[in-house]
Copies of this chain bind each other. A is one copy, B any other.
């Protein structure tokens, strides 16, 4: 029986950065990429089983955490109890100055200054400040709801000579020409996306992954090696990351420090901490702790043990999934 295509939810509109992240994450699979208008819609699609996966922004290297994603992961009303993280994808944000196809064939060196209006998402203006100051000083700017929308307007409008700041992905999607590439001030502006799946779904289990040649970081964590490596040698090149949420009783002194100590006791390295209001009581928080480990025989139960210990001190506690790190410890030091 042939398998139907994977359904992958992303945060719309089409040609958004989430779309690009989904396309690149699932480039080796046969997948239908489906736009969703809100974060909650994408979570709900995975919970219902309408989507096999969802690709959701989690944090940006410049702007920080995406609170909408944290609030849905907090799942205060138990709406998404089967949704877990199974992978991550780092997308570096590169902007282009896109135009109508066929205009300015000589490119930027012969650009004649005839663009009269620029379109993009409000955040992108500031990210391309140096380029805009040099080539488009004084040109009218119009905010639009997404960089993709700006590319679309410019591609369709023949009445004016417009330009848009958008990704190469959006330019190709809407059929734009590209006047200049990599026009962003900082070349390291990167968004990390989480890839979510429904843990009850057979379609997203390990065997299914392998039959479709999905990138390895989408499959379940590799089993620990059968025998120990030589002393001093790393046991695995890939760090496994785990996301855990918990809430504690703040009136108990030292409760948060005790909870965080549990990770250290199990050899789990804390790589990020986020907090959101619990909404049960004012000034009580839900903590999101991301921790990493180099998988080995010794620590194969580390996450389970940490969860068990956490349940002793936390008011609530939830395992939000484990996946393979795509950044890598070496990269982390060098970035």
Contact residues, A30-68 vs B (CB, 8 A) = 60-65, 67
In the assembled complex, how far is the CB of residue A268 from the closest CB belonging to chain B, in whole angstroms?
A: 9
**Chain A interface SS verdict (over half):** mixed
21 A–B contacts, CB within 8 A, in A order: A61-B277, A61-B283, A64-B67, A64-B277, A65-B275, A190-B282, A251-B333, A253-B267, A253-B269, A254-B264, A256-B260, A256-B269, A257-B264, A260-B260, A272-B275, A272-B285, A273-B273, A273-B275, A273-B287, A274-B275, A283-B332
Taking a contact as CB atoms closer than 8 A, the residue among B188, B270, B275 that contacts A257 in the complex is B270
Q: Is the CB of B251 within 8 A of A283?
A: no
In the assembled complex, how far is the CB of residue A85 from the closest CB belonging to chain B, in whole angstroms?
A: 16
- The reply to whether the CB of A279 lies closer than 8 angstroms to some CB of chain B is yes
Give A335 to B327 CA distance when docked, in angstroms: 41
Give A326 to B282 CA distance when docked, in angstroms: 14
In the assembled complex, how far is the CB of residue A50 from the closest CB belonging to chain B, in whole angstroms?
A: 27
Give A275 to B285 CA distance when docked, in angstroms: 14
- The reply to whether the CB of A81 lies closer than 8 angstroms to some CB of chain B is no
In the assembled complex, how far is the CB of residue A90 from the closest CB belonging to chain B, in whole angstroms?
A: 9
Top 8 closest A-B pairs, CB basis? A257-B264, A61-B282, A253-B269, A256-B270, A251-B333, A282-B335, A281-B335, A64-B277
- The reply to whether the CB of A80 lies closer than 8 angstroms to some CB of chain B is no
In the assembled complex, which residues on chain B have CB atoms less than 8 Å from the CB atom of A283? 61, 192, 327, 332, 335
Q: Which residue of B lies closest to A67 (CB)?
A: B64
- The reply to whether the CB of A263 lies closer than 8 angstroms to some CB of chain B is yes
- The reply to whether the CB of A276 lies closer than 8 angstroms to some CB of chain B is yes
- The reply to whether the CB of A329 lies closer than 8 angstroms to some CB of chain B is yes
In the assembled complex, which residues on chain B have CB atoms less than 8 Å from the CB atom of A27? none
Q: Is the CB of A282 within 8 A of B251?
A: no
In the assembled complex, which residues on chain B have CB atoms less than 8 Å from the CB atom of A276? 64
Taking a contact as CB atoms closer than 8 A, the residue among B188, B257, B275, B335 that contacts A261 in the complex is B257
Q: Which residue of B lies closest to A192 (CB)?
A: B283
- Give the one of A250, A276, A327 with max B CB within 10 A: A250
In the assembled complex, which residues on chain B have CB atoms less than 8 Å from the CB atom of A210? none
- The reply to whether the CB of A271 lies closer than 8 angstroms to some CB of chain B is yes
When each residue 230-259 of chain A gets 1 if its CB lies under 8 Å from chain B and 0 otherwise, what string results?
000000000000000000001101101110
In the assembled complex, which residues on chain B have CB atoms less than 8 Å from the CB atom of A329? 251
In the assembled complex, which residues on chain B have CB atoms less than 8 Å from the CB atom of A327? 283
In the assembled complex, how far is the CB of residue A237 from the closest CB belonging to chain B, in whole angstroms?
A: 15
Give A263 to B260 CA distance when docked, in angstroms: 12
Q: Which residue of B lies closest to A63 (CB)?
A: B277
- Give the one of A63, A192, A257, A285 with max B CB within 10 A: A257
When each residue 300-328 of chain A gets 1 if its CB lies under 8 Å from chain B and 0 otherwise, what string results?
00000000000000000000000000010
On whether A257 and B260 interact (CB within 8 A), knowing A283-B61, A283-B327, A285-B272, the answer reads yes
Taking a contact as CB atoms closer than 8 A, the residue among B60, B62, B269, B332 that contacts A254 in the complex is B269
In the assembled complex, how far is the CB of residue A180 from the closest CB belonging to chain B, in whole angstroms?
A: 24
